[in-house]
């Protein structure tokens, strides 16, 4: 089983910037699991009616990116200008092929908006393909030969 919880983005976001993405070091990790969950919060928000939109994109070569889901995973979430706004989003189709690399586009609207954003990504893979390799596993149980036992 593969599980991770990583900080994907932390910083100030300016409204209207459409080419803002999560940490590039996480591109391969995002596609190495079956289930992706995004969570975070915004604070210090300014602007008139600010909103947050998150879009997932996938690629095989990191130059042509595809949105495999028709709608954003978080679409125009209204943000509070007087308090923190927590949010959560999950890939709606975890069975859809994700290619080799994945990233999340962060869009803050309208152009007058500004916000501090902290974004976390959590991934989980319960499939047998994520089990440890018996050749490299140091303490693998002998009964399962280093692989996770089959689910009932």
For residue 133, the model assigns a pLDDT of 53
Q: How far is CA 135 from CA 3, 138, 145, 150, in A?
A: 21, 8, 10, 20
pLDDT of 44 higher than 80: yes
pTM value is 0.79
- pLDDT tier at 141, thresholds 50, 70, 90: very low
Element (H, E) at 81: none
Q: Please report the beta strands in 65-128, taking only residues with DSSP state E, as ranges in sequence order.
A: 74-78, 85-90, 101-109, 114-125
For residue 149, the model assigns a pLDDT of 53
Mind listing the pLDDT tens digit for each residue in 50-68? 999 999 998 999 889 988 7
- pLDDT average, residue stretch 7-22: 90
Q: Which residue has the higher pLDDT, 7 or 151?
A: 7
């Amino acid at each position: 089983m593969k599980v991770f919880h990583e900080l994907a983005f932390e910083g100030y976001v300016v409204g209207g910037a459409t080419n803002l993405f999560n940490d590039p070091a996480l591109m391969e990790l995002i596609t190495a699991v079956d289930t992706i969950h995004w969570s975070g919060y915004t604070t210090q928000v300014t602007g008139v009616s600010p909103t947050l939109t998150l879009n997932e994109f996938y690629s095989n070569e990191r130059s042509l990116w595809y949105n495999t889901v028709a709608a954003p995973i978080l679409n125009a979430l209204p943000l509070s200008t007087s308090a923190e706004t927590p949010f959560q989003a999950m890939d709606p189709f975890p069975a859809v092929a994700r290619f080799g690399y994945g990233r999340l586009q962060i869009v803050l609207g309208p152009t007058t908006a500004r916000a501090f954003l902290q974004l976390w990504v959590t991934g989980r893979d319960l499939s047998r393909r994520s089990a440890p390799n018996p050749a490299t596993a140091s303490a693998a149980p002998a009964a399962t030969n280093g692989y996770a036992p089959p689910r009932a």
